[in-house]
Amino acid sequence: MGGAKKRLRIAVDCYEVTKELTGVGRVIHNILLSLCREQGRYEFHVFSRQEVKDYSKCRNIKQYVLPEDKGYFRWQNGSFFRGVKECHPELLIAPNYTLPFFVRTKSIVFEHDVSFASHPEWFPKKEVLKRKYFVKRSLRKASLILTLSEVSKQEIIRHYSVSPGKIKVLYLGAGENFMPAAETEVSRWKEKKGIKGRKVIGFLGSIFNRRNVPHLVEAVRHLRTEFPEIMLYIVGKDLTYPPQNMRRILNEEWILWEESIQESELPLYFSSLDVFAYLSEYEGFGLPPLEALSCGTVPVLLKKGALAEVYSEFSLMAENPDEEEIQYHLKRALKDQDRMDTLMRAFKKKRSYFSWGRVAGEFSAAMDEVLHGK
Tens digits of residue pLDDT in 165-202: 999 999 999 999 999 999 999 999 999 999 999 999 99
Mean pLDDT of 63-77: 88
Q: Check if CATH label 3.40.50.2000 holds for domain 8-173+355-372.
A: yes
Give the pLDDT band of residue 67 (cuts 50, 70, 90): confident
Sheet strand arrangement including 42-48 = 61-65, 42-48, 8-13, 91-94, 107-110, 144-147, 167-169
The 10s digit of each residue's pLDDT in 261-284 is 988 899 999 999 999 999 999 999
pLDDT of residue 5: 62
The 10s digit of each residue's pLDDT in 231-257 is 999 999 999 999 999 999 999 999 999
Work out the burial of residue 173: count CB atoms within 10 Å of its CB; fewer than 13 is exposed, 13-18 middle, 19 or more buried. buried
CATH class as words, domain 183-350: alpha beta
What is the three-class DSSP state of 286? coil
* Angle of helix 213-223 versus helix 323-335 axis, rounded to 10: 60
- Which ranges in the chain are annotated with CATH 3.40.50.2000? 8-173+355-372, 183-350
Predicted model pTM: 0.92
Mean pLDDT of the residues in the chain:
93
Whether the predicted pLDDT of 91 surpasses 90: yes
pLDDT of residue 2: 46
Whether the predicted pLDDT of 297 surpasses 90: yes
Q: 10 and 43 in contact (C-beta within 8 Å)?
A: yes
In angstroms, the CA 47 to CA 25 distance is 12
In angstroms, the CA 154 to CA 335 distance is 38
φ, ψ of residue 206 to 5 degrees: the values are -60, 140
Give the pLDDT band of residue 230 (cuts 50, 70, 90): very high
Alpha helical stretches, state H, the chain: 23-38, 53-56, 72-75, 81-87, 115-118, 125-141, 150-160, 183-193, 213-223, 246-249, 266-271, 287-294, 305-311, 323-335, 337-350, 356-372
Give the pLDDT band of residue 93 (cuts 50, 70, 90): very high
pLDDT of residue 374: 59
Give the pLDDT band of residue 19 (cuts 50, 70, 90): confident
Mean pLDDT of 338-349: 97
pLDDT of residue 204: 96
In angstroms, the CA 272 to CA 295 distance is 9
Strand-pair category, 199-204 with 61-65:
unpaired
Work out the burial of residue 4: count CB atoms within 10 Å of its CB; fewer than 13 is exposed, 13-18 middle, 19 or more buried. exposed
The 10s digit of each residue's pLDDT in 50-61 is 888 888 888 889
Better pLDDT: 69 or 36: 36
Q: What is the DSSP string of 9-34?
A: EEEEE-TT-SSS--HHHHHHHHHHHH
In angstroms, the CA 16 to CA 20 distance is 9
The 10s digit of each residue's pLDDT in 110-155 is 999 999 999 999 999 999 999 999 999 999 999 999 999 999 999 9
* Residue at 325: amino acid letter: E
Give the pLDDT band of residue 1 (cuts 50, 70, 90): very low
